């Protein structure tokens, strides 16, 4: 009788640990997802450079880690974002949400902070009637056309790319509000020399090919740019 009873209870007893194991797996994955959302929304994000607007400092195909700590907090993949306590400084690089609908986040350099008067004359940037020293500037695409003067409103910032001859920035579409700033680049963790199309939004096939090509042909990796910090 005892043996028959143990045989009847065997499957039920085996089922209990299996259910607990599934529950532990679900809880474990929930914690992983929550940790990812927290890190992505408040601490650190990855970005890749798709354009030449920052050439001289950043190249097309540079992969960046962007610090959000103290800059912004948001709900990933929703567009919801709130500014935090850090104050952007003049000549600091920042990542911000594009002011053009449907466009990806942009990387530019802050040229004017609230209250600054910005203008371009004699192919140079002047801030508050003084020429701005810009050692990072890429001048291979020619000089800058005259612009301004304009005064940066409270809560806004005037941004430009380092590659002034090939940068679509505040000269054309206006100021960047503080609550649009996502964070600031901290390090290049990978840099791949590939066709520009590979890094544009939605080109997943081109991007996959670029990564596979970099693995098979390591010369396409810009090794000297790895772990460059800002």
Residue 6 inside a domain? The answer is no
The distance of Cα 143 from the centroid of its chain, to the nearest Å, equals 28
User: Cβ contacts of residue 206 below 8 Å, gap of 6+?
Assistant: 194, 195, 197, 198, 200
Residue 2 inside a domain? The answer is no
Of the listed ranges 30-34, 88-92, 138-142, 202-206, the least confidently predicted one is: 30-34
Q: Which domain holds residue 78?
A: 43-225
| Number of domains, the chain | 1
Residue 75 inside a domain? The answer is yes
Q: What is the pLDDT of residue 2?
A: 47
| Segment 42-59, tens digit of pLDDT | 567 889 999 999 999 999
| Segment 55-112, tens digit of pLDDT | 999 999 999 999 999 898 776 666 677 788 999 999 999 999 987 777 888 999 999 9
Q: What is the pLDDT of residue 45?
A: 86
Instruction: Say what the pTM is.
Output: 0.79
Active site residue 21: no
The distance of Cα 10 from the centroid of its chain, to the nearest Å, equals 55
Single out the catalytic residue among 53, 167, 170, 191: 53
Residue 93 inside a domain? The answer is yes
Compute the distance between CA of residue 96 and CA of residue 92 in angstroms, rounded to an integer. Answer: 12
Query: How open is the CA angle 134-138-116, to the nearest 5 degrees?
Result: 35
What are the tokens at 197? Answer: 């199309």
Active site residue 51: no
Compute the distance between CA of residue 15 and CA of residue 33 in angstroms, rounded to an integer. Answer: 27
| Segment 160-179, tens digit of pLDDT | 999 998 899 999 999 999 99
Q: What is the pLDDT of residue 206?
A: 93
From residue 147, alpha-carbon distances to 19, 105, 120, 134 in Å are: 68, 25, 5, 17
| CATH code, domain carrying 174 | 2.10.109.10
Q: What is the pLDDT of residue 13?
A: 46
Query: In the block, which residue shows the tokens 């990806």?
Result: 104
What are the tokens at 230? Answer: 């800002």
Q: What is the pLDDT of residue 39?
A: 53
Single out the catalytic residue among 51, 67, 72, 108: 108
Residue 146 inside a domain? The answer is yes
């Amino acid at each position: 009788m005892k043996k028959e009873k143990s045989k009847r209870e065997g499957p039920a007893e085996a089922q209990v640990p299996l259910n607990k194991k599934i529950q532990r797996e679900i809880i474990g994955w929930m914690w992983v997802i929550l940790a990812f959302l927290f890190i992505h929304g408040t601490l650190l994000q990855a970005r890749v450079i798709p354009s030449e607007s920052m050439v001289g400092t950043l190249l097309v195909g540079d992969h960046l880690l962007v610090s959000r700590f103290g800059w912004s907090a948001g709900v990933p993949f929703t567009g919801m974002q709130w500014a935090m306590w850090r104050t952007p400084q003049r000549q600091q690089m920042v990542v911000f949400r594009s002011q053009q609908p449907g466009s990806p986040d942009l990387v530019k350099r802050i040229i004017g902070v609230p209250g600054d008067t910005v203008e371009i004359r004699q192919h140079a940037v002047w801030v508050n009637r003084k020429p701005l020293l810009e050692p990072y500037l890429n001048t291979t695409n020619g000089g800058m056309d005259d612009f301004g003067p304009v005064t940066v409103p409270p809560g806004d910032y005037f941004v430009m790319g380092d590659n002034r001859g090939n940068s679509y920035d505040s000269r054309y579409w206006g100021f960047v509000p503080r609550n649009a700033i996502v964070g600031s680049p901290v390090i290049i963790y990978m840099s791949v020399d590939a066709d520009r199309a590979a890094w544009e939004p939605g080109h997943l096939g081109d991007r996959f090919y670029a990564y596979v090509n970099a693995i098979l042909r390591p010369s396409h990796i810009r090794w000297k740019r790895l772990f460059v910090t800002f």
